[in-house]
Structure 1
Amino acid sequence: MNILFGGKAFLRLWDVLSPAFQEHSLDVAEDEEIPSKLPWADIFVIRPMTIDKDILKYGAKLKLVQQWGVGVEGLNVEDCTEAGVYACNIPSRGTGNAEGVAEIAILHMMLLARRYHRAKEKLQEGKVFTPPGVTLWGKRACVIGLGNLGHCVVERLKGLGMSVTGVNRTHREEFSQWGVDTFYSLAEMEKALAGCRFVILALALTPETYHSIAEPFFQSMDRDAFFINVARGDIVVREAFDKALQNKWIAGAGFDVFWKEPPEITDPILNHPLVTTTPHIGGVTDASLNGAIDFIVKNVQRVALGEEPYSCLNSRDLQRKKTL
């Protein structure tokens, strides 16, 4: 199979990609090279980028567009279906992605709870045993979004001795088995926040969740609670967050995702004493790299054999299209 990787970022992984796909022909395309290189490709592996009919029209023999990662905000699945092309992402749980992102959520919780910025200042002043912090043990956390990522977060919170309130669009029986003590629907989200010292956002970005975290949400949080976003920046209304921080509706916040990525280096959020930030590295780990490669290798093999790939986002629509 001819496999085209979209973006020079994949060149940094070439030493790992080449042996993994040694039975196939590989190439990399910069954005401006896609129109000339895509006609060659059977499979197009993409980073977060826009893929729609204007790109797909160049893929004369294209069989699969494979997202490298979980989020598919830029991948127009309907256009893939219209072109007769499989559209797939990488499932987060079991590939190292959700596991890594859950760990970065815990990192932000700990940094905020132990007042890391202030602790560094005290140490540089030659002082120890200060500032006092907050233990996670014995506290209640609210996890908003109980998909694969939320599941991984809940597991880790329970291991730290925390109580968990879960929020999700629909209820499933297995939530209690994971360790969710109390459940609320998304429509009741603001009611779920009372008594929660930590609030972790783990929702997928959809038209329904876009800007769903607004002023009423932050006003409903306890004043000593911390907000952690490891989901997507655009789920949160930026102006509402800034107001919450300024008015001390919340005690602090941690972000691994932003409204614009990368954020402007002058963005005050990056140096705010009550905010911890990381450069969207939750899913950037050894485990997630190996998990992504292993998963894509399997999908390439399935497509080569004429079988439907795993984690296909347009399976039913393609089947329906074939019967018309």
Structure 2
Amino acid sequence: MKPYVFITRKLPDEVVKPLLQNYEVSMWEQEDIPVPKDLLLSEAKKADALLTMLSDSIDEKVLTAGKKLKVVANLAVGFDNIDLKVASREGVAVCNTPDVLTDTTADLTFGLLMATARRLMEAAEFVKDGKWKSWSPLLLAGHDIHHKTIGIVGMGKIGETVAKRATGFEMNILYHNRTRKPAVEQELGAVYVSLDELVEKTDFIVCLTPLTSETKNMFTREMFKKMKQSAIFINAGRGPVVDEQALFDALVAGEIAGAGLDVFEKEPIGADHPLLQLPNVVALPHIGSSSVETRMEMMKLCLSNIQAGIEGNEPKTLVNKDWKPLVKA
């Protein structure tokens, strides 16, 4: 009997086809609707491998539903949706898709910064709504980006790549990270500072930190009050690192100038979300790595990880480094 692979979201046929040579494959046939939890549990009970999305909760119930599961390949660089401790205990390899999405996500992040600073979304809608009646000196005037100071919170590979983009605009670069990055400091002239100093001095605060117990609700109302009134906050990392009510209150009170968000505390959000009611907020549907080329590479990496995990080999991008394959029925 061929090993069984379940995919929790519809993927292109050309991506799935190579799997069919060696595995039995089933796929949730919806592109925009997450797989129901009861179906996920039913599939996990018989699966050797799961290809999952960041929106899927891969908890203890899923990881222990059956006796065959060997690998969970997450189609994302993040993996806070998976219980790593239980996965390691059960001998399940957990994999993500780093590196292949670094440049694409950095492009989106800097594009979001530019769109928010120069009020591009407002301006586009202004024209489409027929409101453009004449030219005026401060019509939809935004904020300059060149020669300003950018502060990057979370100087991982994506953060480093955003910093490279910033050098093209001759920006001053400050960063805060768990560890210093001397090579980045030397190459790009980035300066390591405390989080408090970063938010006080920068014109653009760019959050790219992963979600951990330490970073959850990192950006509080107190933190927003420390920012410049002209500051723009960009979050392309994880939604829950921001207290969204605090961000809303800070924007309404004029404590910061605007926000560009690709991630939210709970996704997806509805049109009635408070932050969407504000004209100085640019909101995107978590599309940081969403280019055709990059998403295809991410999918291929997931397939490679699945093959390795099923065969009992260490996957290329293993997350739970304490993983050891268990002999399973």
**Structure 1 residue aligned with 2:32:** none
Q: Which has the higher helix share?
A: 1
* Cα separation, 2, equivalents of 1:142 and 1:268: 26
Asked if residue 261 in structure 1 is aligned to residue 267 in structure 2, the reply is yes
TM-score, with normalisation over the residues of structure 2? 0.86
Q: Secondary structure of 1:65's partner?
A: strand
**Structure 2 residue aligned with 1:28:** 27
Of 73, 76, 80, the residue aligned with 2:80 is 73
The alpha carbon displacement at 1:57 in A equals: 2.2
**Structure 1 residue aligned with 2:57:** 50
Of 158, 166, 177, the residue aligned with 2:167 is 158
The alpha carbon displacement at 1:99 in A equals: 2.2
Which region of structure 1 is more displaced relative to structure 2, 56-65 or 140-149?
Answer: 56-65
Cα pair 2:108 2:288 within 8 Å, conserved: yes
The alpha carbon displacement at 1:252 in A equals: 0.7
The alpha carbon displacement at 1:226 in A equals: 0.5
**Structure 2 residue aligned with 1:19:** 17
Deviations 1:62-114 (A, max 9, x none): 211111111212200111111111111111x2x12x32222222122212222
Structure 1 228/60 Cα, relative in aligned 2: closer, same or farther at 3 Å? same
Cα pair 1:111 1:276 within 8 Å, conserved: yes
Cα pair 2:44 2:65 within 8 Å, conserved: yes
* Cα separation, 2, equivalents of 1:117 and 1:301: 43
* Cα separation, 1, equivalents of 2:43 and 2:122: 52
Q: Secondary structure of 1:288's partner?
A: helix
Cα pair 1:2 1:40 within 8 Å, conserved: no
Cα pair 1:103 1:153 within 8 Å, conserved: yes
Q: Secondary structure of 1:135's partner?
A: coil
Q: Map of 1:116-195 to 2, 5 A cutoff?
A: 116-120=120-124, 123=127, 124-128=131-135, 130-184=139-193, 188-195=194-201
Cα pair 1:253 1:274 within 8 Å, conserved: yes
Q: Which amino acid is 2:294 matched to?
A: S
* Cα separation, 2, equivalents of 1:101 and 1:147: 12
* Cα separation, 2, equivalents of 1:314 and 1:153: 27
Where in structure 2 are there 5+ consecutive unaligned residues? Answer: 29-34
Where in structure 1 are there 5+ consecutive unaligned residues? Answer: none
Q: Which amino acid is 2:6 matched to?
A: F
Q: Secondary structure of 2:251's partner?
A: helix
TM-score, with normalisation over the residues of structure 1? 0.88
Cα pair 2:248 2:274 within 8 Å, conserved: no
* Cα separation, 2, equivalents of 1:247 and 1:35: 45
Deviations 1:10-52 (A, max 9, x none): 22x2413223424232112543233443344221111122222
Cα pair 1:196 1:222 within 8 Å, conserved: yes
Of 97, 108, 115, the residue aligned with 1:111 is 115
Aligned-residue CA RMSD in angstroms? 2.3
The alpha carbon displacement at 1:118 in A equals: 4.7
**Structure 2 residue aligned with 1:64:** 71
Q: Secondary structure of 2:21's partner?
A: coil
**Structure 2 residue aligned with 1:5:** 6
Structure 1 220/21 Cα, relative in aligned 2: closer, same or farther at 3 Å? same
Structure 1 179/240 Cα, relative in aligned 2: closer, same or farther at 3 Å? same
Structure 1 271/239 Cα, relative in aligned 2: closer, same or farther at 3 Å? closer
Deviations 1:234-281 (A, max 9, x none): 101122212211221101111111122111321131131111111111
